Amino acid sequence: MRLILVRHGQTPSNVAGELDTAVPGAPLTALGHRQADALPDALADEDVAGVYASVLTRTQLTAAPLAAARGLEVVVLDGLEEISAGDLEMRADDDAVAAYADTVAAWIDGDLAVEMPGGPDGHSFFDRYDAALATIAGAHPADATVVAFSHGAAIRTVAARHGGHADHRLLNTGAVVLEGSPAGWTVASWSLQPLGGAHLAGDTSHDVTGDPDPV
């Protein structure tokens, strides 16, 4: 399977540098909608068999233009959501951002016992995200291409586990492509710009979940 994990478009919380991870989450900004609208052309060469999104509003809004262009429904799938910020939810101060980033970094380094303050440990994160990927894989042929809209820290952490560069950023509507199956994924590519082009990057100075070193 070819699984294209796309980060959602820009939200007001991204602009403010807030740790916005709870359901339903923020909508898209005007730039976020432009980023989403650029995806059908950006993925024109992909034979997309399915479009999935997390339970958060921003991924579903980002997925909608691509799904409409391909005549597909957006399948909302529990498990693709962002790494929960726990007690740090909606904070934007340096201490909170550093605590979130340090926890994610520990998981990427393999220490899954570390807990997000007031939130999950790495084992529970990977259990639910891996289950979502397995659900997607089970719904399509092994040679299918599927697009799943998810979140910055979640995609970066999963990609790093499967050979991706842990120090890479993932901007809004950037993507990581996984190839393989739940028995073994490999990172085929990691886009360092929005799929629609660098002109859609916007202000990334407060990208607390897309940047491996946000403080």
Whether 208 maps to a domain, the answer reads no
CATH of the domain at 196: 3.40.50.1240
pTM for the complete prediction?
Answer: 0.97
8 Å CB contact between 195 and 171? no
* Candidate list 18, 33, 81, 82, residue with the active-site label: 82
Residue 9 to residue 29: CA distance in whole angstroms: 8
Q: Which tokens belong to 99?
A: 């605590």
Domain hosting 63: range is 2-200
Q: What is the DSSP string of 75-90?
A: EE-TT-SPPP-GGGTT
**Is 151 part of any domain?**
yes
pLDDT at residue 73 in the model? 98
Strand-pair partners of 149: 6, 53
Q: Cα(199)–Cα(184) distance, rounded to whole angstroms?
A: 34
In a domain, 182, yes or no: yes
Domain assignment of residue 26, yes or no: yes
Please indicate whether residue 18 is annotated as part of the active site: no
Taking the C-alpha atoms of residue 126 and residue 89, their distance in angstroms, rounded to an integer, is 20
Q: What is the pLDDT of residue 46?
A: 98
> For tokens 């092994």, what's the residue?
142
CA distance 81 to 88: 16
Pick from 90, 85, 96: which is nearest to 120 by CA? 85
Nearest to 154 by CA among 85, 96, 87: 85
Burial 116-151 (b: 16+ CB within 10 A, else e): beebbbbeebbeebeebbebbbeeeeeebbbbbbbb
Catalytic residue among 8, 81, 151, 168: 8
Q: What are 50's strand-pairing partners? A: 146
- The answer to the question of residue 15 being in a domain is yes
Is the residue at 211 inside a domain? no
pLDDT of residue 101: 97
Confidence at residue 202, expressed as pLDDT on a 0 to 100 scale: 93
pLDDT, residue 213, reads 87
Residue 205 in any domain: the answer is no
pLDDT value at position 166? 86
Each residue's pLDDT tens digit in the chain (215 positions)?
999 999 999 999 999 999 999 999 999 999 999 999 999 999 999 999 999 999 999 999 999 999 999 999 999 999 999 999 999 999 999 999 999 999 999 999 999 999 999 999 999 999 999 999 999 999 999 999 999 999 999 999 999 999 999 899 999 999 999 999 999 999 999 999 999 999 999 999 999 999 998 86
**Tokens representing 59?**
């991924």
Active-site annotation holds for 165? no
AA identity, residue 81: E
Number of domains observed in the structure of the chain:
1
